[in-house]
Structure 1
């Protein structure tokens, strides 16, 4: 199924091969990313979520596995900063041009530095938000990194 969003249009302009997967978005579920993984029939370790945060007051984008948590300390270190915090949803929507639940690392309104969890390197392909609620894009990890101008970093909180 195809659905054009600013993110998918961006990937097409960059000549990046990707597959679009569309599912029924349910805002009532507790873990949206884990729900998205199940809805498109992919293991959660292959599906990544896009988070908008601030490091020393400057916006950054972070892409991590949906079932894992972000370490603020590691996030700050990844961008050579002292402190990190999650961005307010309204600010994330203003900067990216996407609604929360549909924020993609591709085709954002404003380019911001982007870090991807190092666990992505263990995969051949990765899924992430395709720029709309209920839209995922599946593409090669190397293509995803190139398209988002991302860097690999140690970002995850220790698994319990």
Structure 2
């Protein structure tokens, strides 16, 4: 478990799946990325990532708002088991009603601190849909730089080398 000023970041459990599916399964909320079609598909995705946490030392966290204990997101640092080959990346998914409140930036900064201090990764990657300006801003503020456009995926690829400054 990891805590930030406003968030508690913790591993996922099966009991979290219905609340996660409320936004991970919402096509409007997930407009720029993968949307789970069923509760079972969401459970599979989340639990496969949890298995990878034991292997890799990281996986997306359940994002809980400290002030009220509400699950508002899912994300962090991971190596995607469903789309391998990109190395460690940062990803984040939030309920639409909390967009624009700085939670993604807070999560990304915590994930990068974990990448630098605990895993000592040399670089971290991230992807954003070209139309998702909010996500691109989050990545740029966190020190990511544009690497290239992945035309076949319609994604922008960003990279961030290990920070010389501790987070």
TM-score relative to the length of structure 1:
0.29
Pick 1 or 2: higher relative contact order, CA cutoff 8 A, min separation 6: 1
TM-score relative to the length of structure 2:
0.29
Higher share in helix: 2
